[in-house]
Amino acid sequence: MGRKTYTPEERLALAQKRGFAAETTSDRQDQLSKVEQLSLAGATEKRHQDRFAYKDTRYHAVKGLKMEVSRRPDTATFKDFMEYYASSRDGLIDELPTMHSVLNMWYKFVGYLNRITKSKLDRQVCSDVAAFISGSLRQKLNLSTKKRDKYLVTQKDLTRLLEYLWCSDDHEYLHERLRVQLTFCLIIFAACGARAGAIVESSSYKGSNEALTYKDCHIHLVRRLGGGFEFHLEIIQRFVKGKRGDENDNLHIIITPKDRLLYNGFWVLASLAIADNAIKGFKTLDDLEKARVPDGRDSWELEWEEDARDLPILRMATAEGVHKYRALTYAALWNQIVSLGIRAGYRDSVKIHAIRAGVANKIKDPEKRKQTLGHGDHVIYYKSYASKIVEVDGLSEYLGDAPSTEHIEQLRSMDHRRDKNAPRKLPAAEKVEFDRSPKIREVNMRIEKITRDIAGKPAEHPALFKERQKLYGEKRQQLRLAERLSREKWFNTSYDVEALRQLQTEEIDAKALAKPRQISTFYLTRRLMPARDRVANVILLTPDLRSDKYRAAQRDIYSLCIDDSRVAYRPNEHPIDGACPREGCSTAMIELPVAMRSRHIHACRQRELRDTLSQQPSSYSRRLRNRKLPFAEYCYACCEWSCSEDSWNSHCRSHLERLELRCGLLSFRYTLVVAGYCPFCLGDEGLSPSQRMRQWMTKPTLLNHIDIHLTTYTGLECPHPICHVSLERPSDFTAHFEDVHIIGEPRSNCVSRNRRRDDEKEEIQGMNGEATDHMTRKLVVIGGTPHFMAQMASAEWLQSIPTPASGAKVLRLYTFTMSCPRTSNQERARRRTECRKKLSEHIHSRLGIAVLPANVKLMTKSEDPYQWNIFSTDKTALFDKQLSKHSTGAYIDLCNGVGVHFEAVLSEGAANHEQTGRPIITGAIPNGKGNSNHLSRDIDKVHVAAEEWRERYKAELARRESLEVELAAVKSENTELLNEIKALREVEVTRTLDLDKTKEILSRLSHMLQDRASKAYEDLQQVTRVAEYLHLGSKPLVTMQGHLATG
């Protein structure tokens, strides 16, 4: 069937129907007369504009000229501009840009100039300026001709990256699906040699959401020659560079299955697809394992659900989960791969182009290489992809020996410049210098100011919130730059350090100083991630594809794609059906804040254990907190409970026998993984094992405890039992503890402990109300025991301290600086004091009642002599909370609204004031001038008020005793109810077990009946076939009998 034949009139009507205009207007003529140009990507267009603006604005501003686009500059102007460009920029390899960088910029500048002027620059002018750059300009500015070394991501690098990603990486991804997606990306790039823009959203097409979708992946079941079948994955690259608009130029790459899960890209894709419910007809991995090649076919292709065909496979993620439609961007992927390489110890940035270059160098056939990489010419490979190291063992070839190229591949790879001991973060000393830099100080001050202005309400101040996010980004960028420079410095000096270490004698080497090593914390956190832990144990093996371990690992990868990974739970503390697993506590985890979920379950487990030990439930009310509870200590390092002091001491002794250098706390996804330990206590053999292994749950308390030791420690050797580093100065302990023992300091913009850095000078309010730079405390050490003393200590206080066993009191006095609270807290304290003072003055001036500022109340009682009369209803909320619990903004509102929106009035408690006409003094003697008569009257008032308060205290005490009696009765009743509930639950459990047994028996009977029914059906089929056979065969038998009768 061919195309339809049209008459000329029908063709004209069809064209007009599709938008063609028979008559050409003047506007249409002008539009057709314009010179059309190929469209550029948005990012490419912007880069060209930036290069042109560099000349049109900066260069002409220096020269005092004004350029018109229609007017072509002469050759001298172009040469002068290129000299200005080369001398005004910094280079990556050398101080100035290389000659090749300047030439590249010139050619791109000419290309865009031709585009905007719609005419071509004279070839002679272009060649003349290029010769000037490579000749006179290179000699004048001494431009380097060196290009950056091209290190390849080889098979060894790919294996190392994947192994580190699953078996060692301690990076906390926003969602674990990002780890699965990164695995799929690395396998895809190694299999296809694709550019990043062909798989994820390109940086040149931001916001387009153009990336690899499910319809670009074809899953084929192919029958093997020896029997059976296997899955093959076909990847279609629709967004190839320079060929996005032509579907005929799409690249099709087949990825064959591998036995090792580490390289099996299909099962990684299958986990992602099942998580997105994308495969038509197959909803689970178990269903997918049942897929078979249909009879009569040698291959079969699976289909996608219609609503999943255009869904990007690789998507962005947040803390709440994976985005439904937003494709993964190149910037996000670049950051994930480069940061993974840094954590793995690579010196050079692991980039996608390096993987593509590794694929290009592996393909020896030029035509296959050109087709796989999508190149238009073989020259591109030799110019931008070929390694400088030739893959030839020349001496072996010359001598006729078997050539070996393994060492060549190692020297070509990025692994050649990898060191797993390379620092991942700034050392402590350099971090202090970074925080002290003027630029970072200014950024921190601006962040603090904006934080005060936001006052905890970012939704009401979107502009300030956005500005603060920019400041955080600026600081993060500066920190990354400092880390990169420090890391490069470490690599440059690592040779001298290693050479000196290797030349040391064994005796010196045995006493070598401990140096910080970059050890991943995954070995500590893996027990909190059981799914990833199982994958890490299987991913390095080569098991049978149908083995139980392999199938379990596949399901674990799938669970990582769908599970909520915001909170990590310790072993035996995982929620059951989304609720607390403790019997009697049905708290749903979704009702708790994310940061409290793991803490709640752990507290419930502790209560459950203590209830079991004490054989009675406890309500853990405030009144019962000080009672003697059963001993139950949890070891965070082993995730085990010790129920007696002896067992706990024995457990601590076992840890002391295998100590590690790490002493700092480790938290992972809102869960404390490892508690902190004090290096001084660990090294004090005079303490018991439990005292030496005391666990610290928060960083501030640990650091403050170490500060006390530092004030009394006079040695310069690290007190840790397995670390004998001798330091130069006592001030070096802080940096040593952070670098070697991982006892980290708080962030510079987040003061979370009572320690002030040496460079910090913040003003806070002292005890006398005046501003002071810091707070000082004195420490008296007597017989090795520290005692804090007040600033006005008496001799009686010193005598009250117990005398050491030696009989002599050894006094050592230390004065040290305590940290200031954060600036926002200082401002809040100042506003609160001002508000109390203003309210106190208002009460005194209006009612004649003198109340100390510290005793002013917003929530008054009937016995108070004053109460508040509120005029404005919008100010009512201010009086629903105690004065000390308000925010800074509320204090400001109270100060501004006193006497305007509300005022103080007399209450029933002021009856004596109305009768006597004298002011009532509440809790203090009023400040003011007067003679001795006034003073005596004031004293009488104080005595009267004290007697009244004494009577009230007695009445309150009697009421409290009666309430305690009622509380005891309620507790006994509560205990009875709990026992009844427990008995009912036991009955329920028994009935549930009986029902389960009955259900199992019925299930077995059902299976037996089904088996018998199927066998009966088979027997019936056989009988039917035999009957049919007998019925068909009966006709010849009758015919034969007829012949016999006739004969």
- pLDDT recorded at residue 923: 37
Amino acid, res. 910: A
User: How does pLDDT run across 134-170, given as a tens digit for each residue?
Assistant: 998 889 888 888 887 778 899 999 999 999 999 999 9
Same domain, 737 and 837: no
The mean pLDDT value for 290-315 works out to 91
Amino acid, res. 957: L
- Residue 18 inside a domain? The answer is no
pTM: 0.68
Is residue 349 over pLDDT 70? yes
Other C-beta atoms within 10 Å of 533: how many?
Answer: 16
The mean pLDDT value for 547-569 works out to 88
Same domain, 473 and 355: no
Could you give the percent of the chain with pLDDT greater than 90? 19
More confident residue, 91 or 774: 91
Same domain, 218 and 285: yes
Q: First vs last Cα of the chain: how many Å apart?
A: 68
- pLDDT recorded at residue 51: 58
| SS3 of residue 111 by DSSP | helix
Which of 928, 943, 977 corresponds to the end of one domain?
928
- pLDDT recorded at residue 65: 54
- Residue 234 inside a domain? The answer is yes
- pLDDT recorded at residue 399: 86
- Residue 954 inside a domain? The answer is no
In the structure, what pLDDT confidence band is assigned to residue 306 with cuts at 50, 70 and 90? very high
- pLDDT recorded at residue 89: 80
In the structure, what pLDDT confidence band is assigned to residue 514 with cuts at 50, 70 and 90? very low
Tell me how far apart the alpha carbons of residues 611 and 622 are, in angstroms, rounded to a whole number: 17
Phi-psi category of residue 142: left, alpha or beta, with phi > 0 → left and psi -120 to 50 → alpha = left
Q: Which two tokens stand for residue 838?
A: 């203003």
Same domain, 571 and 667: no
- pLDDT recorded at residue 798: 46
Tell me how far apart the alpha carbons of residues 205 and 331 are, in angstroms, rounded to a whole number: 12
Least confident of 173-177, 374-378, 1021-1025: 1021-1025
Angle between helices 352-362 and 366-373 (to 10 degrees): 150
- Residue 204 inside a domain? The answer is yes
- Residue 935 inside a domain? The answer is no
User: How does pLDDT run across 884-904, given as a tens digit for each residue?
Assistant: 888 888 888 888 888 888 888
Q: Residue 908 carries which DSSP code?
A: G
- pLDDT recorded at residue 792: 39
Which of 141, 175, 199 corresponds to the end of one domain?
141
Q: What is the CA radius of gyration of the chain?
A: 40
Least confident of 45-59, 300-314, 391-405, 433-447: 45-59
Q: Which two tokens stand for residue 405?
A: 């190229």
The mean pLDDT value for 475-488 works out to 90
User: How does pLDDT run across 954-1010, given as a tens digit for each residue?
Assistant: 777 777 777 877 787 787 777 778 778 878 877 887 888 888 788 878 878 887 887
Is residue 1042 over pLDDT 70? no
Tell me how far apart the alpha carbons of residues 179 and 164 are, in angstroms, rounded to a whole number: 11
What H or E segment, with its residue span, contains residue 930?
A: none
User: How does pLDDT run across 710-766, given as a tens digit for each residue?
Assistant: 888 888 899 999 988 888 888 888 889 888 898 877 655 444 444 444 444 333 333
Same domain, 856 and 918: yes
Tally of CA atoms within 13 A in the half-sphere of 771 that contains its CB: 7
Same domain, 842 and 813: no
Is residue 783 over pLDDT 60? no
- pLDDT recorded at residue 873: 73
Same domain, 980 and 1002: yes
Amino acid, res. 1024: T
Same domain, 670 and 595: no
Same domain, 590 and 695: no
Angle between helices 330-343 and 177-192 (to 10 degrees): 90
- Residue 957 inside a domain? The answer is no
Which of 625, 652, 674 corresponds to the end of one domain?
625
Is residue 172 over pLDDT 80? yes
- pLDDT recorded at residue 969: 77
More confident residue, 142 or 53: 142
Least confident of 5-19, 417-431, 615-629: 615-629
Average pLDDT across the chain, whole number: 79
Q: Which two tokens stand for residue 317?
A: 């993620």
In the structure, what pLDDT confidence band is assigned to residue 253 with cuts at 50, 70 and 90? confident
- Residue 216 inside a domain? The answer is yes
- Please choose, from the candidates 109, 67, 111, 117, the residue with its C-alpha nearest in 3D space to the C-alpha of residue 85: 109
- pLDDT recorded at residue 920: 38
- Identify the CATH number of the domain in which residue 168 sits: 1.10.443
| SS3 of residue 291 by DSSP | coil
Least confident of 155-164, 246-255, 639-648: 246-255
- pLDDT recorded at residue 219: 92
DSSP string of 639-707, one letter each residue? TEEE-SHHHHHHHHHHHHTT--S--S-EEETTEEEE-B--HHHHT-TTS-HHHHT--B-SHHHHHHHHH
Least confident of 38-42, 349-353, 434-438, 593-597: 38-42
- pLDDT recorded at residue 748: 53
Tell me how far apart the alpha carbons of residues 631 and 648 are, in angstroms, rounded to a whole number: 10
Same domain, 126 and 159: no
Is residue 817 over pLDDT 80? no
- pLDDT recorded at residue 906: 84
DSSP string of 32-63, one letter each residue? HHSPP-----HHHHHHHHHHHHIIIIIIHHHH
- pLDDT recorded at residue 211: 92
The residue segments making up the domain with residue 204 are: 155-391+405-417
For residues 900 and 870, is the Cβ–Cβ distance under 8 A? no
The mean pLDDT value for 185-208 works out to 90
Same domain, 768 and 621: no
- pLDDT recorded at residue 823: 55
User: How does pLDDT run across 117-137, given as a tens digit for each residue?
Assistant: 777 888 888 899 999 999 988
Q: Which of 17-21, 486-490, 846-850, 975-979 has the highest mean pLDDT?
A: 486-490
More confident residue, 764 or 635: 635
Same domain, 365 and 240: yes
- pLDDT recorded at residue 52: 57
- pLDDT recorded at residue 757: 42
- Residue 24 inside a domain? The answer is no
CA 59 vs CA 91, 130, 217, 615, 824: distances in Å: 19, 19, 50, 86, 47
Total domain count for the chain?
Answer: 8
- Identify the CATH number of the domain in which residue 76 sits: 1.10.150
